[in-house]
Amino acid sequence: MSTVPRNNGLLARQPYKTIWIIFALLSIAVRLPIWMVYYVPQNLRPLPSWTYRQALMTQIVKFMVYHVGMIRLSPPLSLDSGAEGDRFVHIKPSKEAVYEGVLKDPEITPAVIGGTWYHASHTLGGIPKTVILHFHGGAYAINQGRQLDSGYTAKLLLNHVAPRVLMPQYRLGSHVGGRFPAALQDAVSSYKHLLDLGIPASSIIVSGDSAGGNLVIALLRYLSEHKRFLPSPFAALLWSPWIDVCNCLEYGLAERNRNYRSDYLTSPFTWWGAAGFIPESKKMTGEYLSSPPKPFATDVPLWIGTGGAEVLRDDNVEFASSMSKIEGNNVDFHEEPSVPHDIVLVGNILGFETEAENMAEKAGEFLKSLP
């Protein structure tokens, strides 16, 4: 068992990063034609039920995820509106005392972050009936919740769950000052931002995919501990949530998983995300970074969706089971058969559009069943 990646950060520095990128480009130039032939026979695909496109694209994305993790490639977070225009807003820390307990850190303090509205700018004059506060995936290392990386997720949510979505550009562990509890501080700021806009908590659905799902779990735990100043949202949706971040400090864990061949997650990527997110000392993090995570009571109805062929599948099943055993919890679990990790984020790339639509429909049905 190893807890240290093989390159130990060397490839994140120049000139080694450039050398590795050249190596990766040459490597895929050789491998791609081989993969294109190899996956023609149905019995050689990760799952016989997969199409040629699904098998090939999952392999290509796995290759990319591996090398992104090796060179630790994370674009900077910008507060400029960019292509999002007036759909991009600034979310400021609340002036009220909403950052208590685990959110009080001597080094990490609440900060201004960005956020993207889908499908139009939100104003006090046009409060929608329901709003989704969605936290994007990316192992706490990549992505920004903008159109380029999260537009497909937003489309699914808009079509099947609610008419408005706000995706915060929360701080990442791959950046300086982005370790825990930065993202949770940002989640609280974002939730309070919606409340301050006049949107009642009963109209807010908190949602997150992969690392964003982990962030939603932390937010629900925090809200359950601090009910006196923050009301509970209407419901929560978790899409392939990254349940046990600390466990991914064990390098090589993904490769030993029974679903590794049918998923695109790799240890260089998950280790990089976990190592940047988890503080050197977990003394002040309580149960937020416990491994395995401990279930807790929540009055927020919880829907959990996972892929039957993903590396995180068993963790998702176990978490859903442990949460459902807590008296008073309302937990609904859905497993989409034979799909890899987080298809609501990359289903359009991998060729799992139908399955991603089905997952979104199931989440929508769960919300409609609530009183």
CA gap 281, 115 in Å, rounded: 30
The overall average pLDDT reported for the chain is 94
Rounded CA-CA distance 18/350 in Å is: 27
What are the DSSP E strand ranges found in the chain?
88-91, 113-118, 131-135, 164-169, 204-209, 235-239, 302-307, 331-336
pLDDT of residue 228: 86
Cβ atoms 338, 309 nearer than 8 A: yes
Torsion angle, alpha carbons of 174, 6, 315, 330, to 10: -10
Provide the CA 234 distance to its chain's centre, in angstroms.
20
Span 277-308, pLDDT tens digits = 999 877 667 789 987 889 999 999 999 999 99
Residue-wise pLDDT tens digits, 124-149: 445 567 999 999 999 999 999 999 99
Write the pLDDT tens digit of every residue in 332-364. 999 999 999 999 999 999 999 999 999 999 999
CA distance linking residue 170 with residue 187, whole number of Å: 7
Cα–Cα distance, 135 to 132 (Å, whole number): 10
Tell me the CA distances in angstroms from 252 to 109, 113, 162, 260, 319, one per residue in order: 33, 33, 39, 11, 22
**CA-based torsion, 272, 276, 277, 283: positive or negative:** positive
Q: Which residue has the tokens 């496109």?
A: 53
Q: Is 164 strand, coil or helix? A: strand
